[in-house]
Structure 1
Amino acid sequence: MGDDGFVEAATRLFSALGYDGVTVAMLAEAAGVAEADVARRGGKAGVYAEVMDRVRDLQVELVEEMGTTLTPDLVGLHDMVDMFLDFYVAHPEAITLWQHRGLADAVDIPDVERDYGSPVIQGIYRLLVRAGVGPRARFALHNFLGWSFHSFLTLGIFHSDGTTSDWRDPAARARFRQETHDLIDVLGTLDSPS
């Protein structure tokens, strides 16, 4: 199996089971290689780094595309939300890997947030600055958007009758897009004079 196939197989495993739930034997079997091949890639930790590199690179590429294609205003931030949501629909592993990390997965691997999360977070921050969002609104949007995406892609939308709509449901995604656009419109003006 080529490098791409190996990393894809490892991504599926780490995404489904978390780093702590995956063994070298499982990685080898999923990729159709010998355990010695996994060892040559740095063992389980080395393969995890390859997976996180791939996810980070995909996200950084997306943020760079946003920087060149989005208008520098609140409408551009609406489009940013749409592009991120489309990305996560196409790459749900990008969220599930972080969900596992949030549950104290792979704690023996240092600096995961700094090495893999920070470049994307900093890119989003630059997009908020570029859109002319003031400091208070930047802080609020930067955090609320992160929390909203994480919650939606983990739990879906909650309804007053106690049911939920899963993020995979197109109607739920449409509702999330609209609510998030509205959130941007409200929070994006926090620094505006009254």
Structure 2
Amino acid sequence: MGGTEEDRLIETATRIFAELGYDGTSLQMIADAAGYDIGAVHGIAATKADLYRAVMRNADESEEAALREALAGFTADRGGVIMLADAYLDFYVSHPQVLALWQHRWMGDAADLPDLEEIYTRPLSRDIADTVRDLVPPDVDPDYLIWSVVWCVYGFLTGGLVRSGPDEAPQRHTPSSAPCPHDDIAGFRTFLHTMLDHMFTPLP
């Protein structure tokens, strides 16, 4: 499959799958949103599952490109580790629809297409874990460490942050409903760096 019609269809499908999930979306909805008749859609993707796989493949290729670029410049020190974490955070800050696609899957969406994590998520996470494996202290599991970054980034960008000072009411920011303020991202980035510093520091 190729060409601008496919690109437009995948772009539209990405937006709708991100908003409604796979289970809550029909091919007709995507066709209507893209301005195509259903026959044209079937000419590009025979089924909703085929289109969803194309969307997830496209999303994975975007993430893969960003993280592989960071891996190519990796240095075996704190700077290299921080660069990898920043690349991951920056990708999802700038690609909220990709974040939403995976969030839907974490909540059981598209359960009849169970193989996508194995195809897309595992190879890259394994390579990153292998990259930092020799740098972590012996009491730290590199796989859990990598996924702790994933869980933190997903949790922050989708669940937001509740802040409350001694003299103020709690304030909640929910990035899923609005762009995440720069100050919140900067604060989270600082925390992420600090967490990684502690995790990579051997116990006395």
TM-score by length of 1: 0.89
- Mapped to 1, the partners of 2:98 and 2:53 lie a distance apart of 14
User: Per the alignment, do residues 136 and 28 of structure 1 end up closer, same or farther by CA in structure 2, a change over 3 Å counting?
Assistant: farther
Counterpart of 2:51 in structure 1 is: 47
Q: Determine if the alignment matches structure 1 residue 91 to structure 2 residue 103.
A: no
Q: Is the 8 A contact 1:63 1:123 kept in 2?
A: no
- Mapped to 1, the partners of 2:122 and 2:103 lie a distance apart of 16
- Mapped to 2, the partners of 1:193 and 1:176 lie a distance apart of 24
- Identity over aligned pairs, percent: 33
Query: Which amino acid in the other structure matches residue 143 of structure 1?
Result: W
Comparing 132-141 with 96-105, which one deviates more in the overlay? Answer: 132-141
Q: Is the 8 A contact 1:60 1:119 kept in 2?
A: no
Deviation at 1:136, TM superposition (A): 3.7
Q: 2:81 aligns with which of 66, 69, 77?
A: 77
Per-residue deviation, residues 131-151 of structure 1 (Å, max 9, x unmatched): x22454224421311110110
- Greater RCO (CA < 8 Å, at least 6 residues apart): 1
Counterpart of 2:196 in structure 1 is: 184
- Mapped to 1, the partners of 2:93 and 2:154 lie a distance apart of 13
- Mapped to 2, the partners of 1:115 and 1:140 lie a distance apart of 19
TM-score by length of 2: 0.85
Counterpart of 1:125 in structure 2 is: 129
SS class of match (2:90) = helix
SS class of match (1:158) = strand
Counterpart of 2:173 in structure 1 is: 165
Q: 1:149 aligns with which of 149, 153, 159?
A: 153
Comparing 94-103 with 27-36, which one deviates more in the overlay? Answer: 27-36
Deviation at 1:80, TM superposition (A): 1.6
- Mapped to 2, the partners of 1:152 and 1:193 lie a distance apart of 28
- Mapped to 1, the partners of 2:102 and 2:121 lie a distance apart of 9
Counterpart of 1:22 in structure 2 is: 25
Query: Which amino acid in the other structure matches residue 13 of structure 2?
Result: A
Structure 2, unpaired ranges of 5+: none
Deviation at 1:71, TM superposition (A): 2.1
- Mapped to 2, the partners of 1:97 and 1:89 lie a distance apart of 14
Q: 2:7 aligns with which of 1, 4, 8?
A: 4
User: Per the alignment, do residues 136 and 10 of structure 1 end up closer, same or farther by CA in structure 2, a change over 3 Å counting?
Assistant: farther
- Mapped to 2, the partners of 1:43 and 1:110 lie a distance apart of 16
Query: Which amino acid in the other structure matches residue 155 of structure 1?
Result: G
Deviation at 1:46, TM superposition (A): 0.5
Alpha-carbon RMSD across the aligned residues, in angstroms, is 1.8
Query: Which amino acid in the other structure matches residue 6 of structure 1?
Result: L
Q: Is the 8 A contact 2:161 2:174 kept in 1?
A: yes
Residue-pair matches, total: 191
Per-residue deviation, residues 30-87 of structure 1 (Å, max 9, x unmatched): 2222212322313110000000000111111122111111322222121222222221
- Mapped to 1, the partners of 2:54 and 2:144 lie a distance apart of 32
- Mapped to 2, the partners of 1:181 and 1:124 lie a distance apart of 17
User: Per the alignment, do residues 126 and 2 of structure 1 end up closer, same or farther by CA in structure 2, a change over 3 Å counting?
Assistant: farther
